[in-house]
Each structure stands twice: as C-alpha cells, then as structure tokens.
C-alpha cells in the first residue's frame, strides 16, 4: 500500500484533475493533453483555481514556471500566491493568466545572439501535456521558454514541435495501412541515468570536482575496474539508503524509477525509469538529476553526473531508449511473431534506418559536448561513428527482401541452461550490442551516445525530426501508388538497399571498424569541434526549417551557444588546473622535498654509514618533474590569454581543443607522476583510492 499511496502524491495528475475539475473542464483539458488541441483561456482559469487549492492543501506557498533554458539545467522564479485585498489582509490567488504564461528575464540566459543584455523580455508558456508538481513547497508548472520575438530559447519547445511533426507523418502512414482507430502517435523515451557517488567531505577538498564536476588531476589506484566485481554487485548499505530515499522522492513526483544497480566503475551506479511520452520523460529526467544531487547531500554524499569524472575508469552515459506508441497502446516498433510478414513494422524499421543514415551527422552533433568527448570511443562507450545494430535475424530478413529471396519465419529458440529446477524460457530474436551507438533491442532503439549530464531533449529532437522527414517522403510516395502492396514492398527493398551501410552488428571497439566505416562512407567526427559546424549544413537546416521544428535563427543560435559552452567549460577547467598546480601541488611537493632533504642531511650528519639512496633518488626525480611541471604550467598560462582573445567562436573552440587541452594533458601527466612519488600525507587533496573506494 505504501507505494501506491505515495506515488504521484505531489503531482497534479489525471486522477487529481478528474476529482477536482468540472466534467466539461476536465474533458477540454484532456483533449488538449491527448490530442494536442489548443486550450481555451476560460478553461485555464478553472484549472488554475483548482491547481491553486490543491497546491495550498499540499503545503505549497509559491508557484513557478519551471523551464529548461540552453544552459543545460532547469530554471525557476518563485512567486507567492498572496494578493492584497486592503486593510492589511491578503487572499491566495492564482489566475489562468498566471498559469498560462510568465515573463522571466531572457537576457541572462544563453541565446547565441538572439537576445542582447538590454533586450530583457522573454516568455514562459505552460505545457499542459506535462503535469504540474510540487517541489520544496513550490507549485512547479512545466513551461516552454521563448524570446520577445518568438524564438525558442529552451530545450522543450523544439522537442514539442518535433513530436508534432512526427505525429503528422506517422498518421499519414498509418492511414495507408487502414488504421482508422488511431488518433495520434507519440514517441516514447526511457533514459537510463548513470552517475557516481563519492563522499562529500572528500569532494569538498577537491577544487576540480567542485568547479568542473571532474578530476583534472589524479593517478590511477592499484585497483580499478579490471576485476569486473562492481558491476551488478551487492549494493553497499550507504548507497542502498541513498537509493531508497531517492526512490521515495521520485515516486512522490510520479517519476517511474524502476531499476537500480551498480555500474562497471567503482562508485558508479545506474537508475532506469519506465518509458513515457518523450517530453514528459525529458522533464522527469531533469528532475531526477536535480533530486539525485539533493538526496545525496542528505547522506553525506555527492552525486556526480559529469561524463568522465575519473580518468582510467568508465565514464557515465545516458542511454536514450526510443520508440513510437499509438493512443491505442500499440508500439509501432514491436515485431510480430514473424517480423518479415509484418509490413507495417518493417516500413517503420526501414524509416528509422534511413533517418539514422541520412542524419548520422546530426545525431552525433546532438550529443556533442566537451564532457562527452572524453567518453566516446574509449572502450567504454560507443565510438563517435554512428551506426545501427539490428541483430542477425532482422538483418537477415531485410537482406532477403533486398535480394528478392524467400525466407521462412523463425520460431523463437527455447533456452535450456542444463539445470532441471530452472524453467525454460524463450531467447530474444536479437542479441544486445553494447558497442553500438544505436541498437534495436526488441521493440525500441537504444541510442547509447548521450552523455550523463545532458538533457535528452536535444537528441530526441534530432531523432523525431529525422524520422518525420523520412516518413513524409514515404507517405508522399505511397499515397500516389496505384498498387499499395507492390509499392510498399518495392519501397522497403529499395530504402534498405540504399541505406544498409549504416547497419553494423559487429564490435564497434574494433580498430578494423574504423577502416570499414570509412570505406562505407560513414561520417567520423572525433570531437565536438569537428561535429558542430555540420549543424549548419544545408540538408540539416532544411530538415528543421521544413518541419517547423527550428528556424534558421534558432539553429544558428544553438550552434553559437554550443561553441561558447564548449570553450567556456574548457577555459574553467584550465584555470582550475592552474590554481591547483600553483596553490596546492607545487607548495606541497616543495614541502615534501624539504622533508626529504632534511632527512638526508640528518642521515649524513649522524656520523653513521646510512643508506641515503632513497632520499637522493626521490629528490632527484621530484626535482626534475617539478621543473617539468612548472614549465608546462607556464605554457598553459601563456596559452589561455591567447585563447580568450580569439573573437570567432569556432576558431576559439578549435584553439581550446588543439592547444589548451594538450597543455592540460601535459600538465596532468606530470602531476600524476609526482603524486606517485610524494608521500600521501603531503599530497594536498584526496586521491583516487579515497574517492572511489570510500563510500
């Protein structure tokens, strides 16, 4: 009973609305939510009043428009419900106007040039398809965020537009198959969230973790993840308490937290939810990341969501599981008992194959960031080359269609494990491939490239738009066909033949794949700086413009914001490295040298023939490395002003990638070597052994 009582208790969900709204109002709002219809302002007034009463009863004193600007986190401005009525008295008031829109300052959020400092006005607009909720005694209303001139300044608006565009094209295709009972189709998402938990006291002693979310210095401990003993291992009591507390908080907000376990790296864990409509899943994931951090602090821990917080062990991703679901409950990517006979499934499957092939560059761009660059292609995450895994059976079916040869449907294989007490079960028709960036996993596609700290909105905007564009072309062709069945077969055959280069079922970590991918003509953008300029390629601009997902101005602004963010993050990291080297590492190393020198002098002065080889050798090596460290530090200090002086954002980002990151790596390598020579009690901050194995 406990779970059913607390689940959604802080959410103004469908059950609450059904109880508190007049029937006519509930019906109108429900139509808006389920069929994407415009909401009557009078309906908004009734909803607002009911929402206010419910919020007050649940302890809320303020309300806020909760939105997702382009800075990667959420934003909120709190207003109380109070309104003066004279005589020193107040009433609680919340109107339909308060619910529908707000006016935050738009000049202080990233805009890529759309907004200047003196142009402050911006608007938030209620997204009624995502339920309002109470967080910290504040009624939070999920909203979109736009500029005074109407351009989207957030992650949510393009996502909603892409879902609308996708629904339109999917419906055209479904009608061709005679599906008259379906009224709308929505993409679903289930983001698997990876994260690290470390001790708060140790975190507070690391300037790099506090300012950048990752360790900029740190030698590998004697043991890392090589024994594979942490993955799915017994969850430690302190972590289990955190997870239990986290589940409670998430469940109260209606977030379908389902699966939790230890991940591969020490101190790394994962939380996976049940799938939801994509914009709601995106909202829930933003909330999940926020609440993870809050709950961790209650337990004396810090939750780290950065993609690569520790060198030498696996980083963290956020696998985006994507599918299409009708309002009648049908998953359009669910194969039948004999999938090759399921023409509708095969058409949607081929549509995704073509979309991923034609817009592989956009998918790479959608997950590009300075943090994610450290993770991709490092034998722990998919390579930067986008490819698709279908599994042997689906690939064989499509190949047989392409070749024009018949293929008998396969029955599911019965799995017998050789122990009488264990019952038989059916083997899945596809294996799993953890090296594939984009893998079909039975009834959905798992996009494995997004970074752990990123919003899932951006990759889903790209995916929704790409598939919508392909389906638009399919519908145009099939609607004009004289013989639908024949045209459908020919279309599936042709499109798979033309785009099967993107299908790769092998090992994405194998060096041979890099050569093969190049021969296939697949794009390879190793870094964010390599990928981002292709956002402005004509085909990509045309895609977003033609579907009314993003205007040219909005595309350009996101490009500029992404470049600026890349450079700023690396600049902050470099400045932190300088501070740590000058104010912590060099003084500590010098102090240890003085200690060793004193010990050496004492041995020499005692009149005994004592062995001084350790002190002499260590002092010599430390002195040499300290000189190298200082020289590399000066190189970084000299390059930073040069980087900051570059006006063009792309050229600046290139300089940070080529010069500043090189300086940082050189500096770190020497510092990490010194860490291995200096006594632990002299090293100025907790090392990897303490950070990764103390919880």
SS3 283: helix
Report pLDDT for 343: 86
Is 656 in contact with 664 (CB distance < 8 Å)? no
Q: Do the bridges between strand 425-426 and strand 414-415 make them parallel or antiparallel, or are there none, so unpaired?
A: antiparallel
Gap between the Cα atoms of 594 and 588, Å rounded? 10
Gap between the Cα atoms of 338 and 343, Å rounded? 10
Report pLDDT for 508: 83
How far apart, in Å, are the Cα atoms of 324 and each of 81, 188, 261, 332? 40, 6, 27, 5
Helix (H), strand (E) at residue 64: strand 62-66
Tokens read off for 520:
């296939």
Task: Give the pTM.
Answer: 0.93
How far apart, in Å, are the Cα atoms of 47 and each of 12, 25, 280? 10, 8, 20
At the topology level of CATH, where does 2-154 sit? Ubiquitin-like (UB roll) (3.10.20)
Report pLDDT for 415: 35
Weakly modelled stretches of the chain, pLDDT under 70? 1, 36, 90, 115-120, 336-341, 378-379, 407-434
In degrees rounded to 5, what are phi and psi of residue 135?
Answer: -135, 120
Cα radius of gyration rounded to whole Å, the chain: 28
Q: Which CATH number fits domain 162-213+229-409+424-550: 3.40.50.150, 1.10.3720.10, 3.20.20.70, 3.30.590.10?
A: 3.30.590.10
Gap between the Cα atoms of 392 and 339, Å rounded? 13
664 HSE (CA, 13 A, CB side): 24
Gap between the Cα atoms of 638 and 667, Å rounded? 13
How far apart, in Å, are the Cα atoms of 3 and each of 379, 655, 677? 39, 53, 53
Q: Do the bridges between strand 388-389 and strand 438-440 make them parallel or antiparallel, or are there none, so unpaired?
A: parallel
Report pLDDT for 429: 53
Gap between the Cα atoms of 190 and 256, Å rounded? 10
Q: Where are the domains of the chain?
A: 2-154, 162-213+229-409+424-550, 566-693
Q: Which CATH number fits domain 566-693: 3.90.1010.10, 3.40.50.300, 1.20.120.1560, 1.10.240.10?
A: 1.20.120.1560
331 forms beta bridges with: 325
Is 63 in contact with 47 (CB distance < 8 Å)? no
Q: Tell me how far the alpha carbon of residue 154 is from its chain's centroid.
A: 15
123 forms beta bridges with: 146
Gap between the Cα atoms of 691 and 265, Å rounded? 12
Gap between the Cα atoms of 576 and 213, Å rounded? 11
Residue length of the chain: 695
Gap between the Cα atoms of 117 and 109, Å rounded? 10
How far apart, in Å, are the Cα atoms of 490 and each of 163, 343, 370? 28, 12, 43
Is 680 in contact with 592 (CB distance < 8 Å)? no
DSSP summary character for residue 677: T
Is 321 in contact with 444 (CB distance < 8 Å)? yes
Report pLDDT for 42: 85
Is 269 in contact with 262 (CB distance < 8 Å)? yes
In degrees rounded to 5, what are phi and psi of residue 548?
Answer: 60, 35
Crossing angle of helices 237-252 and 278-298, rounded to 10°: 140
Crossing angle of helices 343-358 and 484-499, rounded to 10°: 40
Gap between the Cα atoms of 426 and 420, Å rounded? 16
């Amino acid at each position: 009973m406990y779970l059913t009582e607390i689940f959604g208790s802080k959410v103004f969900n469908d059950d609450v609305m059904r109880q508190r709204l007049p029937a006519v109002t509930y019906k109108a709002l429900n139509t808006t939510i389920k069929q994407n219809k415009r909401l009557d302002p009078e309906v908004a007034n009734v909803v607002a009043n009911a929402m206010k009463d419910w919020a007050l009863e649940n302890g809320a004193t303020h309300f806020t428009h909760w939105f997702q600007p382009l800075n990667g986190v959420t934003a909120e401005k709190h207003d109380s419900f109070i309104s003066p009525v004279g005589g020193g008295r107040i009433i609680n008031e919340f109107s339909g106007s308060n619910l529908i829109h707000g006016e935050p300052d738009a000049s202080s959020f990233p805009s890529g040039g759309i907004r200047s400092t003196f142009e402050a006005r911006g608007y938030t607009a209620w997204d009624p398809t995502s339920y309002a909720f109470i967080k910290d005694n504040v009624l939070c209303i999920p909203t979109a965020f736009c500029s005074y001139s109407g351009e989207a300044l957030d992650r949510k608006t393009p996502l909603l537009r892409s879902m609308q565009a996708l629904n339109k094209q999917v419906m055209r295709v479904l009608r061709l198959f005679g599906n008259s009972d379906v009224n709308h189709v929505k993409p679903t998402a289930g983001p698997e969230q990876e994260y690290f938990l470390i001790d708060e006291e140790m975190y507070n002693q690391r300037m790099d973790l506090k300012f950048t979310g990752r360790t900029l210095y740190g030698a590998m401990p004697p043991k890392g993840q090589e024994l594979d003993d942490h993955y799915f291992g017994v969850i430690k009591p302190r972590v289990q308490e955190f997870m239990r507390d986290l589940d409670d908080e998430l469940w109260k907000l209606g977030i379908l937290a389902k699966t939790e376990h230890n991940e591969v790296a020490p101190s790394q864990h994962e939380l996976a939810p049940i799938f939801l409509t994509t914009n709601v899943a995106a909202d829930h994931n933003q909330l999940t990341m926020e609440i993870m951090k809050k709950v961790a602090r209650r337990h004396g821990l810090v939750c780290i969501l950065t993609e690569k917080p520790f060198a030498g062990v696996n980083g963290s991703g956020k696998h985006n599981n994507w599918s299409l679901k009708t309002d009648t409950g049908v998953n359009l990517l669910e194969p039948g008992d004999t999938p090759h006979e399921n023409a509708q499934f095969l058409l949607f499957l081929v549509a995704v194959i073509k979309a991923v092939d034609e817009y592989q560059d956009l998918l790479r761009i959608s997950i590009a960031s300075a943090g994610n660059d450290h993770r991709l292609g490092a034998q722990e995450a998919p390579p930067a080359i986008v490819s698709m895994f279908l599994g042997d059976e689906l690939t064989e079916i499509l190949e047989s269609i392409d070749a024009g040869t018949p293929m008998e449907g396969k029955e599911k294989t019965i799995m017998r494990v050789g122990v009488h007490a264990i019952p038989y079960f059916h083997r899945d028709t596809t294996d799993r491939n953890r090296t594939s960036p984009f893998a079909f996993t039975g009834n959905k596609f798992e996009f494995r490239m997004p970074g752990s700290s990123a919003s899932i909105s951006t990759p889903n905007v790209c995916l929704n738009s790409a598939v919508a564009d392909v389906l638009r072309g399919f519908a145009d062709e099939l609607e004009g066909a004289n013989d639908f069945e024949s045209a459908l077969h020919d279309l599936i055959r042709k499109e798979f033949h033309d785009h099967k280069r993107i299908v790769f079922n092998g090992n994405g970590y194998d060096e041979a794949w890099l050569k093969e991918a190049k021969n296939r003509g697949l794009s390879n953008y190793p870094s964010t700086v390599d990928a981002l300029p292709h956002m402005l390629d004509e085909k990509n601009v045309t895609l977003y413009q033609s579907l009314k997902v993003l205007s040219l101005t909005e595309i350009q602004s996101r490009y500029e914001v992404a470049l600026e963010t890349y450079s700023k993050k690396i600049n902050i990291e470099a400045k932190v490295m300088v501070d740590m080297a000058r104010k912590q590492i060099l003084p500590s190393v010098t102090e240890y040298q003085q200690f060793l020198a004193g010990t050496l002098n004492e041995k020499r002065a005692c009149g005994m023939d004592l062995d001084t080889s350790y002190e002499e050798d260590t002092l010599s090596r430390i002195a040499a490395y300290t000189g190298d460290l200082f020289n590399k530090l000066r190189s970084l200090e000299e390059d930073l002003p040069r980087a900051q002086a570059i006006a063009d954002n792309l050229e600046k980002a290139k300089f940070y990638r080529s010069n500043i990151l090189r300086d940082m790596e050189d500096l770190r390598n020497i510092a990490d070597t010194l860490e291995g020579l200096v006594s632990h009690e002299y090293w100025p901050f907790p090392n990897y052994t303490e950070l990764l194995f103390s919880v």
